Structure 1
Amino acid sequence: MRALLWVICLTLFTSTIAPAQPTGNPIIPDLIADPSIVEIDGTFYCYATTDGYGQGLAKSGPPVVWYSKDLVNWSFKGTSFFPAAVGQLYWAPSTVTKVKGKYYLYPTINHDIHVAMATSPTGPFHIANGGDTFTGADAPKPLVTDKGPKGTKGIDAEVFIDDDGKAYMVWAQRGAARVNPDMITLDTTVVVLTKRKGYSEGPFLFKRKGIYYYLYTLSGHENYQYAYMFSKVSPLGPFEAPENDIIATTDRAKGIYGPGHGCVFNVKGTDNYYFTYLEFGRGSTNRQVWVDKLLFNEDGTIKPVELTHTGVGPIHPAKNALKTQAIKSATASSSLSELKVKPIKDSTLNRTETYVPQNAIDASNGTRWMAATNDSLATFTIDLGSAKKVNRLDTYFVMPTAGHAYQLDYSTDGKTWKRCGGHTDIRIQSPHIDLLTITAQYLRVSFIKGTPGIWEVKVY
């Protein structure tokens, strides 16, 4: 990520920058991966793996659904599953699909693909084929097990509904099948024959102008890349390989590594398509979501995706968006030491992650401030430069799916402080919004519970 390559020369724990709206890549202020984005009734929903919990693939964060009106400002509130399913290992949920008034989601839970249903795209979802408790006689039956049929692997499902209403599912190691009308069982499994062999995951199936496109990944880590096949016959093929079948791969010149497991989405009523993918980040399960344009040649073949730091910006800009206040500087009680990222497969990766206060006011979702591990009374303070009217503060905490409790105080001189917001109960959401009617030059967040770190703050 560009943000991780910036060299920052600052006084210890202090920084100054003019704020702006973070409209580039990554698009969401959190460590998430395996994104599936879909637009429903003018709102974009992102279903993804929650990263950042350590232990690699042995642990993931709780399932949540991020949503946005413009693809720039993202939020979530609470977990998206019934409580009994929240503590499970949750990976790579599919794009949600609406059929007969119900929303169907196909996540990987405990190494198997399951079916989940809800009456809203944000849930709460409950597991089909059994109960929501994953132990005992009521444990749900997987749709595809870890060792799937015909050498496939029961992870990374995506569902596609054709123009005739028939549904199809693809999953890792080139598995594909027709989904029965009940949306919870599959017809006969087939294996998609692809030009490139070897391990493959994160498949995606979509249709444009009568052509079916099957996307699949190759390799992993910094060497993650996407290839594709196409068919003019059926969602299940037979598929053909274009001459230039690699559409996304590492761009070392730009410092963008390992574009992997993602999706394609289209803005309804247009021919505008977008490629969503995870970027390597700092390795293992510490990834973030990026979006760039997906373009086609006149013959329907896909052009190689130009990976960018700028991304695609707002797709549906708000007409009466709130205006942010300029932030002069930020200070903190401490900062975590910088991290030199270790390459896994590509020695050209030269990336250092910093955790200075500037990172929370730099209009980048790819940088964050974090307190030192021994800072038990962590605080983060912003200076507006002069006393100004403040109506609202949005705070995007690090590890928001674990929940936070905090106190918000304000001051006009930096000496006398008054409480104006926050909450003592732990809330799982992002951002945390404080509605205010104050005049202040300084705003200070004091952490009570939760990881002491901030991706970004916005003052209105």
Structure 2
Amino acid sequence: MIKSLLNCLLFLIAFTAEAQSVNPFGNALVPDMIADASIQEIDGTFYCYATTDGYDQGLKTSGPPVVWKSKDFVHWSFSGFYFPSAVQQKYWAPSKAVAANGRYYIYPTVNGFMYPAIANSPDGPFKLAKGVDSFFLPFTPATLLQSNNPKGPVGIDAEVFIDDDGQGYVFWQRRYAAKLNRDMVSIDTASVIQISTRRQGYSEGPVFFKRKGIYYYLYTLGGNEKYQYAYGMSKTSPLGPFNFPDDDIISTTNYERQIFGPGHGCVFNVPGTDDYYFAYLEFGRGSTNRQTYVNRLEFNEDGTIRPVELTLNGVGALRSVPREKRIRIINSQASGVRSDLIIKRNQDSLFKRTESFSSQFAFDDANGSRWMAAAEDSTAWILADLGKLQAIKRSEVYFVRPTAGHAYVLEYSTNGKIWKPCGGHQPVIVQSPHKDNLSIKARYLRVKILSGVRGVWEWHIF
């Protein structure tokens, strides 16, 4: 009796300590680390192509290419790779998927160069355009495409825009722009320009769109926690000339709200509306461990852009989609919890955060927080307590670093003592979430991670 009471007390103390953990990363767009997002709605589905972050080697590598999809802009998923040939490459900053010539074109940066790729569907699989060694086929890669050659057009971060007359344009690093040829895989070399902007310095991650007859060109300044976006506008042509308003910085670090380095992302519109949104990476974990957030983009009567009201709260559902009833989690436990991680760039920087890894974060519906097992925990598990015996139809687990794949066992129990398997899989599968259709009654569910990073962004139980 005394031992039982002691165990209950120890659990209560541990649970209280976990519950006090704070999530400083808010509600990220997807439950993973991604940057350089290109977002669009195609036939009622939102697509998010992006750089996969979180592989802990900086710019020496990247995660593989996956496309996150959502019907409502809240619940996202992916399965497998949409660009198989680039899985083992450094794959960065893909453009949106552009529909033209009866096919889809996408323009990622692979191993430091932009390439055009083609597929019959925005889901892929995409393949490099036949016979094209790089995006700028008319140029000589050795002289014009190397990133360390500032005298010519370098080749990363393609942003493609199709005007109302069907003419395509491409914008890229260091403020370069050009017309696309009709084949969508080469450019009109005579049209290449370098846009003269109000603010100077290195620039990447261009964003381009058109609204109410005005062309908008967004370009980045700086990097890391000092990432910013400035913009210009033209009523003449996608290639300018551009006017640059006095109040031309639309996103910058907000130290009061602890939002650092809002950088390379995109602007997208919900078709049929005048609702525009600004997606951006946030430098809150440093290096290439970034997440993406979305805020509204608003305009003044004269068409100028208002500085973005940056928050980490997200924008919620952009489409109404019927959803099944979720089961509320009363308590959670885990085999262990990783120690708090203090994130700070240097002594002079105001950039400082503490990340905690409580098991409760797997049930908070905030994609910026996660449970992580302790470093020495080789048999990691996380447990959900439903409070009472309930009928369970489905489990959906969003693991940490899902693009590397996971294997796991799902178990259930009515009393927390006797456990029976009810789902999971032994092979390592690359997808998120991992779904198990169930027909059981239980109070407890437990996930044991067999392979893959030992952590969970979110766990939904229906």
Whether the TM-score (by the shorter chain) exceeds 0.5 is yes
Q: Which amino acid aligns with 1:89?
A: K
SS of the residue 2:408 aligns to = strand
How far has the Cα of 1:358 moved from its partner?
Answer: 1.1
* Partners of 2:114 and 2:134 within 8 A in 1: no
Q: Partner of 1:137 in structure 2?
A: none
Q: Partner of 1:434 in structure 2?
A: 436
How far has the Cα of 1:334 moved from its partner?
Answer: 1.0
Which structure has more relative contact order (CA 8 Å, sep 6+)? It is 1
* Partners of 1:15 and 1:358 within 8 A in 2: no
Q: Partner of 2:225 in structure 1?
A: 222
1:231 to 227, 234, 250: 234
**C-alpha distance in structure 2 between counterparts of 1:313 and 1:354, whole Å:** 24
Q: Partner of 1:4 in structure 2?
A: none
Q: Partner of 2:146 in structure 1?
A: 146
Structure 2 residue 308 is the aligned partner of structure 1 residue 289:
no
SS of the residue 1:351 aligns to = strand
* Partners of 1:177 and 1:236 within 8 A in 2: yes
Q: 1:15–1:433: structure 2 CA closer, same or farther, 3 Å change rule? A: farther
Q: Which amino acid aligns with 1:232?
A: K
- TM-score normalised over the length of structure 2: 0.91
**C-alpha distance in structure 2 between counterparts of 1:142 and 1:100, whole Å:** 18
1:341 to 334, 339, 343: 343
**C-alpha distance in structure 2 between counterparts of 1:285 and 1:345, whole Å:** 20
How far has the Cα of 1:105 moved from its partner?
Answer: 0.5
Q: Partner of 1:447 in structure 2?
A: 449
Q: Partner of 2:172 in structure 1?
A: 171
Q: Which amino acid aligns with 2:181?
A: N
Q: 1:169–1:276: structure 2 CA closer, same or farther, 3 Å change rule? A: same
* Partners of 1:215 and 1:227 within 8 A in 2: yes
Q: Partner of 2:278 in structure 1?
A: 275
SS of the residue 1:74 aligns to = coil
Q: Partner of 1:211 in structure 2?
A: 214
* Partners of 1:405 and 1:422 within 8 A in 2: yes
* Partners of 2:135 and 2:186 within 8 A in 1: no
**C-alpha distance in structure 1 between counterparts of 2:228 and 2:53, whole Å:** 20
Q: Which amino acid aligns with 1:429?
A: Q
Q: 1:193–1:273: structure 2 CA closer, same or farther, 3 Å change rule? A: same
- Report which of the two has the higher share of helix: 2
**C-alpha distance in structure 1 between counterparts of 2:36 and 2:324, whole Å:** 31
SS of the residue 2:361 aligns to = helix
- TM-score normalised over the length of structure 1: 0.92
**C-alpha distance in structure 2 between counterparts of 1:458 and 1:42, whole Å:** 24
**C-alpha distance in structure 1 between counterparts of 2:15 and 2:348, whole Å:** 32
How far has the Cα of 1:342 moved from its partner?
Answer: 1.4
How far has the Cα of 1:344 moved from its partner?
Answer: 5.4
Structure 2 residue 243 is the aligned partner of structure 1 residue 240:
yes
* Partners of 1:13 and 1:332 within 8 A in 2: no
| % identical aligned pairs | 57
How far has the Cα of 1:152 moved from its partner?
Answer: 3.4
Which runs of no fewer than 5 residues in structure 2 stay unpaired?
Answer: 1-11, 20-25
Which runs of no fewer than 5 residues in structure 1 stay unpaired?
Answer: 1-9, 18-23, 132-139
* Partners of 2:116 and 2:134 within 8 A in 1: no
Q: Partner of 1:416 in structure 2?
A: 418
Q: What do residues 376-415 of structure 1 show as CA deviations (whole Å, max 9, x unaligned)?
A: 1111111011111110111000000000000000001000
Structure 2 residue 262 is the aligned partner of structure 1 residue 259:
yes
Q: Which amino acid aligns with 1:271?
A: D
Q: Which amino acid aligns with 1:317?
A: S
**C-alpha distance in structure 1 between counterparts of 2:358 and 2:293, whole Å:** 23
Q: How does 1:155-170 map to 2 (within 5 A)?
A: 155-170=156-171
How far has the Cα of 1:87 moved from its partner?
Answer: 0.5
Q: How does 1:364-443 map to 2 (within 5 A)?
A: 364-443=366-445
Q: 1:109–1:88: structure 2 CA closer, same or farther, 3 Å change rule? A: same
How far has the Cα of 1:356 moved from its partner?
Answer: 1.5
Q: What do residues 4-31 of structure 1 show as CA deviations (whole Å, max 9, x unaligned)?
A: xxxxxx84477787xxxxxx73110000
Aligned residues: 435
How far has the Cα of 1:439 moved from its partner?
Answer: 0.6
Q: Which amino acid aligns with 2:185?
A: I
